[in-house]
Structure 1
Amino acid sequence: MAMWIQAQQLQGEALHQMQALYGQHFPIEVRHYLAQWIENQPWDSVELDNPAEEAKAKRLLDNLVAELQRKAQLQSGEDGFLLKIKLGHYANQLKSTYDRCPLELVRCIKHILHSEQRLVQEASSGSEGQTMDSLSQRHQQINQAFEELRLATQETENELRKLQHSQEYFIIQYQENLRIQAQLSSLSSLPPAERTQRETTLQSKRTTVEAWLAREASTLQKYRLDLSAQHQKTLGLLRKQQTLILDEELIQWKRRQQLAGNGGPHEGGLDVLQSWCEKLADLIWQNRQQIRRCEHLTQQLPLPGPMEELLSKLNSDITDIISALVTSTFIIEKQPPQVLKTQTKFAATVRLLVGGKLNVHMNPPQVKAVIVSEQQAKALLKNESTHSESSGEILNNNCVMEYHQTTGTLSAHFRNMSLKRIKRSDRRGAESVTEEKFTVLFESQFSVAGNELVFHVKTLSLPVVVIVHGSQDNNATATVLWDNAFAEPGRVPFVVPDKVLWPQLCEALDMKYKAEMHSGRGLSEDNLVFLAQKAFTSSSSNPEDYHNMTMSWAQFNRESLPGRNFTFWQWFDGVVELMKKHLKPHWNDGAILGFVNKQQAQDMLMSKPNGTFLLRFSDSEIGGITIAWRLVWNLLPYTTKDFSIRSLADRISDLNHLLFLYPDRPKDEVFAKYYTPPLCMYQAKAVDGYVKPQIKQVVFFIFYFTQLHVMSLTTIKMSLLNVSALVRNDTMLDADGDFDLEDTMDVARHVEELLRRPMSWDRLQQIPMMLNR
């Protein structure tokens, strides 16, 4: 109810916009009397494009009707009688309207609540006396321009009516003049005396009327020319406003939509854009109708002068304006996935922002989707190709546009498309299939004003990379990320720079990382320095040293890192996937340093007490994380496979020698809330003859290093068997898979001291066989 209380405080244009949200489709009284109940319902949990959600929407509708009826029954007394009848009427009305389409009710209420929230937030920002930012300034300029256009259109309408009235009176006087001429012609049959008298009167009257007609004809011509000039001025304002909305605001919305593919903020703002485009359509159409009425008046009463050419030019100009508006506002509201796997279902939504105003839904157009190559997309934009050649076959690629009266949107929802096959072009040089870009072309045709204007509209999706196997997803995502981050507005499809400044790439990587972690904790400056060191094989820790450096696409995801068999992006994406699937809460808690190399970890831990540890990403393995601590520098990295068996928190809990998370946080303070509770006796007891086991991580090396001096000889014998197993199984490896001879020989030296005899490496391996004799 808090939202409704704030909404009622709106004033001026904001209040008008709020009131316009309601009507027969959803009465404002229902919002008022059920405010708290409405705001407490899970409207956002319903997926409007999923028909399977209809049952959930139906329950919400039934609950709404029941709540209205309950509210009606609570009314009593004389004042409550009329309200009781009204609420009962609204309950029946909503039931009747939405019973067969409950998803439309959810769509309506979601639109209302989101719009109210936006209006309240905008009003709140203004009431706090904050400085108006550039966005709100632009919006204010646009709204002011619309008011100027409204007044200009109203003025030309008034002038047109005056012209019409003047012309009608002129025609009446003209007819009067013709009547006088006819009377003069008939005087020849009268006697001379009577004829002379009447002729004198009629000639005088004729002279007066003709003089008036001559003056009025000149006045009418001036009216027409003035009105034409006013229309030309209005068209100039319309063109300027349309350029601002389509070439700036809509392009910026599309850019935000593209960056959202990399994890940027959700694009939003489409409803505001639609309201502007609808105002434009309304004003353009009004002016077009006025020009056509001027043409009709001119044809009705031809007068010497340039009016015919002027009106023809005005008609042509305004037709161009409305054509540009319609073709530019056919947009993709929900993009198809940019990494598109064949034989996999996908969805998309296209929308015509001016469809409601032009009544296109009266004869709903059909939209077709086809997939085209980069070269085909270039030809389409150059108008070199008039028909849609396809580079593949999309199933379920036809859809009729539907008008949603509650939101005023005309859109087509493709819910079950699937790419059956793809036809690839010849690749250039080192380009791989995951670098080849396609796009989904949506096109439709419809007419307005009784087939007077016919529009063929088309729009291209963001670039998509087609894959046939999940193993290609990583490299395909790199192509998409680079394109989304560095594409320029209005580019030739799908040109992107081959190299970019390192800070630009850092911004893209940070955006991707924050989005996957679902938190504000992105990549710090130290993290980005670490990535720069990895990318450029540099040892500099000064961020300024990398500001003017550039990274090419080949360095990003074509050439392997020095000494590795994977690229920079493949390593980074492996980290992102590991964090997203298993370690997100630990990153958001600040428990994972991550972007630290082996030497840095050792230097950081040297001054700390034994048992201090940190978590860093493996340099040598994609999607690996290792524990480094004061006694043993690095454990073999854990990967997704390991964490699917036992979580990081539980593995840290298992290792009793891990005491403090760097720099000095007790490990239980950080990780205890993520530990898996131990099995109680009831859970552990046998069921159907089986006892449920529990997995626990053991690192033998620590056991020997810290406990060997207190062992009995028998325990040593048993432990040496384990040492031998460790040696044979190569588990004494460091994080990079190298054999750590120095650390392993420390064990041997401890064994020598305990057994009081020299132990060679070969001798150590033979001990288990000796003990088994």
Structure 2
Amino acid sequence: MAMWIQAQQLQGEALHQMQALYGQHFPIEVRHYLAQWIESQLWDSVELDNPAEEAKAKRLLDNLVAELQRKAQLQGGEDGFLLKIKLGHYASQLKSTYDRCPLELVRCIKHILHSEQRLVQEATNASSGNGNQAMDSLSQRHQQINQAFEELRLATQETENELRKLQHSQEYFIIQYQENLRIQAQLSSLSSLPPAERTQRETTLQSKRATVEAWLTREATTLQKYRLDLSEQHQKTLGLLRKQQTLILDEELIQWKRRQQLAGNGGPHEGGLDVLQSWCEKLADLIWQNRQQIRRCEHLTQQLPLPGPMEELLSKLNSDITDVISALVTSTFIIEKQPPQVLKTQTKFAATVRLLVGGKLNVHMNPPQVKAVIVSEQQAKALLKNESTHSESSGEILNNNCVMEYHQATGTLSAHFRNMSLKRIKRSDRRGAESVTEEKFTVLFESQFSVGGNELVFHVKTLSLPVVVIVHGSQDNNATATVLWDNAFAEPGRVPFVVPDKVLWPQLCEALDMKYKAEMHSGRGLSEDNLVFLAQKAFTNSSNNPEDYRTMTISWAQFNRESLPGRNFTFWQWFDGVVELMKKHLKPHWNDGAILGFVNKQQAQDMLMSKPNGTFLLRFSDSEIGGITIAWVAENPNKSGERLVWNLLPYTTKDFSIRSLADRISDLNHLLFLYPDRPKDEVFAKYYTPPLSKAVDGYVKPQIKQVVPEFTTPNPEPSAGTPTFMEQTASPSVSHPNNFSVYPSMNDTMLDADGDFDLEDTMDVARHVEELLRRPMANQWSSQQS
């Protein structure tokens, strides 16, 4: 409702744009009377390219119709009678229009709401402060573009008016020219008249002919000047059109593509495509109008040839403006939704291409077909250099043809590839140490269509962002590294797909922070201390000063080709393991600030030794990918008066698939305060699993808990008789001989092909636990001690 209230306050061009959003496809009255209901629905939760979401869209449609009918029934009295009929009619109309395609209703309303939000935001920015404050750079650019469009509109209108004047003048000239021919014919026919009459008539006609010929001579010169002036005006307009097109295509569209690329690394979602489309459509409209004017000038010139350079001038203008519109059409064939950049064979994937000027040029009147093929890096280079005229393929994509559809509600012409699948891939010879996960491909989309009644035919192509093809989930980690490096450090206009081999450490930090924040869905990214820790790991450097790393460069080999010293994994593999662990199991705790994470063992010991016994912190394991450990300070049970920092055997995603971090911390009574001094229940209690329900049908459910034997203390919960299950290993900062663990070893067969925990194997562990719990606890304890 708040958005609609603000939208009604729009003025001028913004109000006109807002009103243009509505029509037969979605009446503005529906928006007005159901404003609160419409804005409260989760339209963005519906994936428009997923046919499985149609049921959700159908529910939204049915609810909208029901709400509209309810609103209609509430209308009473004489004044409400007509509104009641109108709302009831709209309910039937929407049901009839979208019942077979409910996703189109969702697409329509999402477009309306996003457009309203943009218009309101732009109006707010323009009027913020006292009106004299400078607008931000984005608003200034938009204002500059809109002002240029107004200049172009006025210039085009002016040449249209001048063209009409020229046409009228030329038509009158032709009439007078015909009159002169008629006079000449009359003079020729005087020979048959008597001499006296002939002399009188001849004198009159000669005088009249002299007057007309004098006028024709003057008017021919005037027409020539009109034509030259008009061609000069068209030349100026063409220059303005080129300038505006350069601004939109070479700056705004390129920036949008760059934002789309960074979104692949977790950057802000690329918005503003609807704004770009509106600009491109205005450009197309203006270019086409000017081209039609130039063609009419050519026609007038052919109708009445006059001495001068007009024919050559107009031919050049026609050629130039045709090149401009060709550049516009070919540049606005873009990929709205990129295919996945890590592409697994035999796996379904989707993509969407869009022609930003398709609706304006009526391309949908004869819907073109788009074809998708996968090409190698070398093939992409050849295509961009125009060395290859036909599309060679490096693999086979199933369901790779799609017809472009026009969506009237949004005015977009697009092709939605919903069920593509890469059946096979043909790899090239690898260079040096390059692995298959460093080889880049791209999906090429191409189409052909005509405009202006087959007057112009366009063959358009566009390349996706680089994709890395994998055949197994185990390759995903390294493939993601290739994609992240390319997305972060690709230069605009590069040769496919060249990236620098080395970058400054702060540049990589920015990319890692972007990725981390995106996966955590939080504004809490990597702090300066976290980045210092990562620099120490990447460069094996012990400096704690961020300035020491600002001028250092890191190479691709250091990032994800060479293993870290003393380890069998790379820097990226370690970092990505942390991201995956946090994303799957620990995201809330990171966002709560409960996990320090990026702290080494020595730092943890230094931090904890100054705190009371029972203080603990959570840090990522240095030695294991995707591992996190608990470090805490406590008395040495073997030596009175001595305090030690203990480190629990790292947890991994396998462990958290069985029991959560919060529950594990709850189990350990010797953990009292989360560093520096927060009571653990204050931080973790909201994540504890509720106590098990009472016995059902005489059976008591077993409960999995963990203990660290050296630190076992009486625990009032669970009640007596509730069995517990002991697991986990603890070690102090110095080596400790005891090792307590009764979990069966979990090998890779317990993971599926993508490295995820397999539910059936989890049940095997649970059955093993039940089996253990049926044994006497005393025997179980003695077997562990031995």
Is the pair's TM-score, using the shorter chain for normalization, greater than 0.5? yes
Q: CA deviation at 1:91?
A: 2.2
Residue 758 (structure 2) pairs with residue 740 (structure 1): yes
Contact 1:126 1:132 (C-alpha < 8 Å) held by counterparts: no
Tell me the residue number matched to 1:669.
Answer: 682
1:177–1:435 CA distance, 2 compared to 1 (3 A): same
Q: CA deviation at 1:95?
A: 2.3
Distance in structure 2 (CA, Å) of the matches to 1:181 and 1:748: 113
1:602–1:745 CA distance, 2 compared to 1 (3 A): farther
Contact 1:634 1:735 (C-alpha < 8 Å) held by counterparts: no
Contact 2:474 2:754 (C-alpha < 8 Å) held by counterparts: no
| Residue in structure 1 matching 2:166, options 163, 166, 172 | 163
1:130–1:573 CA distance, 2 compared to 1 (3 A): farther
Q: Could you give the per-residue CA deviations for residues 520-561 of structure 1, whole angstroms, max 9, x where no partner exists?
A: 000000000000011111010000000000000000000001
- SS of the counterpart of 2:739? helix
Q: CA deviation at 1:148?
A: 0.3
1:660–1:99 CA distance, 2 compared to 1 (3 A): same
Contact 1:394 1:419 (C-alpha < 8 Å) held by counterparts: yes
Tell me the residue number matched to 2:719.
Answer: none
Q: CA deviation at 1:651?
A: 1.0
Q: CA deviation at 1:37?
A: 1.9
- SS of the counterpart of 2:750? coil
Contact 2:657 2:757 (C-alpha < 8 Å) held by counterparts: no
Contact 2:472 2:753 (C-alpha < 8 Å) held by counterparts: no
Q: CA deviation at 1:435?
A: 0.1
- SS of the counterpart of 1:520? coil
Distance in structure 1 (CA, Å) of the matches to 2:517 and 2:655: 24
Contact 2:406 2:413 (C-alpha < 8 Å) held by counterparts: yes
Q: CA deviation at 1:453?
A: 0.1
Contact 1:708 1:716 (C-alpha < 8 Å) held by counterparts: no
Contact 2:330 2:458 (C-alpha < 8 Å) held by counterparts: yes
Distance in structure 1 (CA, Å) of the matches to 2:4 and 2:742: 70
1:70–1:743 CA distance, 2 compared to 1 (3 A): closer
Distance in structure 1 (CA, Å) of the matches to 2:764 and 2:36: 70
1:104–1:599 CA distance, 2 compared to 1 (3 A): same
143-152 vs 103-112, greater mean Cα deviation: 103-112
Q: Could you give the per-residue CA deviations for residues 225-279 of structure 1, whole angstroms, max 9, x where no partner exists?
A: 0000000000000000000000000000000000000000000100000000000
1:698–1:203 CA distance, 2 compared to 1 (3 A): same
1:732–1:317 CA distance, 2 compared to 1 (3 A): closer
- SS of the counterpart of 1:458? strand
Residue 346 (structure 2) pairs with residue 343 (structure 1): yes
Contact 2:705 2:724 (C-alpha < 8 Å) held by counterparts: no
Q: CA deviation at 1:33?
A: 1.5
Q: Could you give the per-residue CA deviations for residues 635-663 of structure 1, whole angstroms, max 9, x where no partner exists?
A: 11111111111111111111111111111
388-397 vs 749-758, greater mean Cα deviation: 749-758
1:711–1:305 CA distance, 2 compared to 1 (3 A): closer
Contact 2:474 2:753 (C-alpha < 8 Å) held by counterparts: no
Q: CA deviation at 1:104?
A: 1.3
Distance in structure 1 (CA, Å) of the matches to 2:594 and 2:141: 43
Structure with greater helix percent: 1
Distance in structure 2 (CA, Å) of the matches to 1:182 and 1:384: 64
7-16 vs 589-598, greater mean Cα deviation: 7-16
Q: CA deviation at 1:127?
A: 7.7
Contact 2:180 2:209 (C-alpha < 8 Å) held by counterparts: yes
Contact 1:752 1:758 (C-alpha < 8 Å) held by counterparts: no
Distance in structure 2 (CA, Å) of the matches to 1:451 and 1:752: 75
Distance in structure 2 (CA, Å) of the matches to 1:603 and 1:380: 59
1:608–1:315 CA distance, 2 compared to 1 (3 A): same
134-143 vs 13-22, greater mean Cα deviation: 13-22
Contact 1:342 1:418 (C-alpha < 8 Å) held by counterparts: yes
Q: CA deviation at 1:731?
A: 23
Cα-Cα RMSD: 7.2
Q: CA deviation at 1:72?
A: 2.4
- SS of the counterpart of 2:330? helix
Contact 2:644 2:733 (C-alpha < 8 Å) held by counterparts: no
Tell me the residue number matched to 2:660.
Answer: 647
Distance in structure 1 (CA, Å) of the matches to 2:729 and 2:388: 87
- SS of the counterpart of 2:450? strand
689-698 vs 193-202, greater mean Cα deviation: 689-698
Q: Could you give the per-residue CA deviations for residues 187-219 of structure 1, whole angstroms, max 9, x where no partner exists?
A: 001001000000000000000000100100000
Contact 1:575 1:624 (C-alpha < 8 Å) held by counterparts: yes
Contact 2:654 2:757 (C-alpha < 8 Å) held by counterparts: no
119-128 vs 209-218, greater mean Cα deviation: 119-128
Contact 1:440 1:461 (C-alpha < 8 Å) held by counterparts: yes
Q: CA deviation at 1:107?
A: 1.1
Runs of 4+ that moved beyond 3 A: 123-131, 684-691, 706-760
116-125 vs 313-322, greater mean Cα deviation: 116-125
Q: CA deviation at 1:23?
A: 1.2
Q: CA deviation at 1:744?
A: 33
Distance in structure 2 (CA, Å) of the matches to 1:712 and 1:429: 44
Q: CA deviation at 1:57?
A: 2.1
Contact 2:348 2:419 (C-alpha < 8 Å) held by counterparts: yes
1:603–1:746 CA distance, 2 compared to 1 (3 A): farther
Distance in structure 1 (CA, Å) of the matches to 2:159 and 2:88: 47
Distance in structure 2 (CA, Å) of the matches to 1:755 and 1:299: 100
Q: CA deviation at 1:324?
A: 0.2
Q: CA deviation at 1:688?
A: 7.1
1:751–1:605 CA distance, 2 compared to 1 (3 A): farther
Q: CA deviation at 1:752?
A: 37
1:714–1:200 CA distance, 2 compared to 1 (3 A): closer
Q: Could you give the per-residue CA deviations for residues 690-719 of structure 1, whole angstroms, max 9, x where no partner exists?
A: 5421111111xxxxxx99999999999999
| Residue in structure 1 matching 2:560, options 546, 557, 562 | 557
1:721–1:85 CA distance, 2 compared to 1 (3 A): closer
Distance in structure 1 (CA, Å) of the matches to 2:335 and 2:616: 50
Contact 1:636 1:737 (C-alpha < 8 Å) held by counterparts: no
Contact 2:706 2:728 (C-alpha < 8 Å) held by counterparts: no
43-52 vs 620-629, greater mean Cα deviation: 43-52
| Residue in structure 2 matching 1:686, options 688, 692, 695 | 695
Q: CA deviation at 1:103?
A: 1.6
Q: CA deviation at 1:14?
A: 1.5
1:746–1:631 CA distance, 2 compared to 1 (3 A): farther
1:534–1:734 CA distance, 2 compared to 1 (3 A): farther
Residue 444 (structure 2) pairs with residue 441 (structure 1): yes
1:223–1:667 CA distance, 2 compared to 1 (3 A): same
Q: CA deviation at 1:124?
A: 6.8
659-668 vs 9-18, greater mean Cα deviation: 9-18
- SS of the counterpart of 1:416? strand
- SS of the counterpart of 1:15? helix
Contact 2:728 2:741 (C-alpha < 8 Å) held by counterparts: no
Distance in structure 2 (CA, Å) of the matches to 1:316 and 1:204: 46
215-224 vs 54-63, greater mean Cα deviation: 54-63
1:184–1:82 CA distance, 2 compared to 1 (3 A): same
- SS of the counterpart of 2:335? strand
1:452–1:593 CA distance, 2 compared to 1 (3 A): same
Contact 1:619 1:736 (C-alpha < 8 Å) held by counterparts: no
Question: Within 5 Å, which residues of 2 pair with 1:299-378?
Answer: 299-378=302-381
Contact 1:635 1:734 (C-alpha < 8 Å) held by counterparts: no
Contact 2:336 2:354 (C-alpha < 8 Å) held by counterparts: yes
Q: CA deviation at 1:97?
A: 1.9
Tell me the residue number matched to 1:767.
Answer: none
- SS of the counterpart of 1:369? strand
369-378 vs 729-738, greater mean Cα deviation: 729-738
Contact 2:707 2:726 (C-alpha < 8 Å) held by counterparts: no
1:660–1:711 CA distance, 2 compared to 1 (3 A): closer
Contact 1:636 1:734 (C-alpha < 8 Å) held by counterparts: no
Tell me the residue number matched to 2:214.
Answer: 211
Q: CA deviation at 1:100?
A: 2.2
Gaps in structure 2 of 5+ consecutive residues? 633-642, 709-721, 779-784
Q: CA deviation at 1:32?
A: 1.1
TM-score scaled by structure 2? 0.88
Q: CA deviation at 1:121?
A: 2.1
1:621–1:740 CA distance, 2 compared to 1 (3 A): farther
708-717 vs 67-76, greater mean Cα deviation: 708-717
Q: How many residues align?
A: 752
Q: CA deviation at 1:131?
A: 3.4
Q: Percent identity?
A: 94
- SS of the counterpart of 1:415? strand
Q: CA deviation at 1:746?
A: 37
